[in-house]
Chains A and B, each alone.
Chain A
Amino acid sequence: MKNYDGVALLSPVSFGYSRQSARSAAWFIGRTFQSVIDNAGVKKEDVDGFAVTSFSLGSDSVVTLTQQFQITPRWIEQFPFGGASGIIALRRAARAIQCGDAEIIACIGGDAAAHRSFEHQASIFSGFTIDASFPYGAGGPNTAFSLITQNYMEKYGTTREDFARISLDQRYNANHYSPALLGHKTLSLNEYMKARQIAGPLHLFDCVMPCAGGEGFLVMSEDRARHLKQPYCVIRSAQELHNAHPTDEIQLRGGWTEFAEALYDTAEVGPDEIDLVQTYDDYPVISMLQLEDLGFCKKGDARVFVQETDMRFDGSGTLSKKLPHNTNGGQLSAGQAGAAAGYLGLNETLRQLTDKAVNNSVPRAKVGLISGFGMINYDRGLCSGAAILARPKI
């Protein structure tokens, strides 16, 4: 596979996170778009590629948005792939830049959260969901993930204390990232353990909080980014795989197992040379699957890994091994802005590697890994993707 040389990612923006909002998705997308181009000093007219990710656009799509925003792109794309949207967006956009299909591409994710809209979204998520999973208790994604978590715990002896390690360190990170919706609250092990039970082994702090918000970034050639005098990141490697391991009875692994080796080979780094990791953390068990499949520990050993690794952004914890993980609190503490949440880890990595992180910057970070996981359809998540980003070579 051809590599992604010459492509720059820049101008990460996280916009307007709120628990509930009367605004629609178009507002979040439009306002995020405006901040993204403003920050980069790009004129709206210069944007000739436009990609959108949203679950709540309703009858609108990326093309009707071009009329709303009065832009005339010669390349459009839409990525409604939940947690893998960010990885997929950067891969598609990078290819378009390399091939000259567009010169400046804005990738924007935005989702609304009107009252009770989550209920509606969960009830009509897909054909399989409507017919074969929502009628059974209507727990939404909690049901499938509690079954996966229950099975994972029984198989590998993982305990709630292990999951707590992920939630607790992420909350510490969120305490230093101002847009995080739960960043103003601390979380102790005691609070975590005593939280309200939601579904089987899942308790309140294992579940993400659906919210509204927007995430966006720009993709262009390195020359163009240098010309704009903007700090940027390059893509060392990126991979995706969908509906991996379809014959597994229940999800204990994702597509990462199939491409992790190629991912590291192309990037010419190993898991131990990664300075920061952003996993898709809609539930702690999913972060564990990603850490295992991406080679940070052996299958089933994530419980040992989290118990001996400090995952705070600044390494201020007591444990000896350090791996900054979900350095802005992830979705568990920042909130899950619908499909825009698929951009959260990517944007956080861009901020870290372009020195735009304010209070939560990881010291001396050079290489970051992002992992995406999306679309729980019926009993398992279908999309998996991962990318390794780095500062440009000077």
Chain B
Amino acid sequence: MTTNELMKSRLKYNRPSLRARARPPKNRTPLGEAFSAANLGRSLKLQYCIDCNRFQYPSQEVCQACLKDNLVWREAVGTGHIISQTALFHSLWEFFKRRTSQKPWPVATVALDQGPIVFTHLDVEAFDDGKMLHVSEKTQVKVFSHYDCSMRSILITTTKETDTQTRETRQQIVARMGLSKPAFRDGGI
């Protein structure tokens, strides 16, 4: 096969996805799967070292401090402050490509009061009638987990006042953000 033909055959697939339904990334490491499982039906559970009495995130095989593996999944409070936040206008993944074509996708890093720094989706609408894309630094927030439509637990940042106690209230926020349904392809056949 000549280079030219090879390029052509590869470019054939280099076009917008024709999938009717696109979903958020499913792929996780075994530790990521464990995080998902631990968080099903819970508001927030993180890895906790019972020797060092400290939380850690992302999930790891050993404790970052003592390098032992006495780790359990423990309920975390989820309060913290925003370190930085941004909105994505471009994504590498079809689900988010379809979402960002409608409106920018907000994400934030949050320092939890209990230690870890977490990377999360940002529930902007909870903050300022949906207009706001400037959650100022050091804003006190709350992080909770819920599953997206790929059935993977994801973290979401919302205001400190928002109720995230029950599965239903969390489900409402996830639905509002567009994470509970696949992104459908525009137009039809």
Contacts and interface: CB of A to CB of B under 8 A. Distances in A.
A139 B92 contact: yes
Contacts of A139: 88, 90-92, 96, 107
Q: Which 9 A-B pairs have the closest CB atoms?
A: A200-B86, A138-B93, A131-B32, A132-B58, A151-B84, A115-B14, A147-B84, A22-B6, A146-B86
23 contacts: A116-B13, A118-B92, A119-B92, A128-B58, A131-B28, A132-B119, A136-B107, A137-B88, A139-B88, A139-B91, A139-B107, A142-B90, A143-B86, A146-B86, A147-B107, A148-B84, A150-B85, A150-B86, A197-B89, A199-B86, A200-B85, A249-B117, A379-B109
Contacts of A142: 88, 90
A198 B90 contact: yes
B84 A250 contact: yes
Interface string A193-211: 0001111110000000000
Interface of A: 20, 22-23, 114-116, 118-119, 122-124, 127-128, 130-140, 142-143, 146-148, 150-151, 154, 196-201, 249-250, 378-379
A379 B57 CA distance: 12
B48 interface: no
B18 interface: no
A199 B89 contact: yes
Given A198-B90, A201-B86, 8 more contacts: A115-B14, A116-B14, A127-B31, A135-B24, A138-B96, A143-B107, A146-B88, A148-B84
Given A127-B31, A134-B25, A199-B86, A379 B117 contact: yes
Given A123-B27, A135-B24, A199 B32 contact: no
Given A146-B86, A151-B137, A138 B10 contact: no
Candidate in A20, A22, A123, A151 with the most chain B CB atoms within 10 angstroms: A22
A250 B109 contact: yes
A151 to B, nearest CB: 4
Contacts of A147: 83-86, 107-109
Nearest to B11: A115
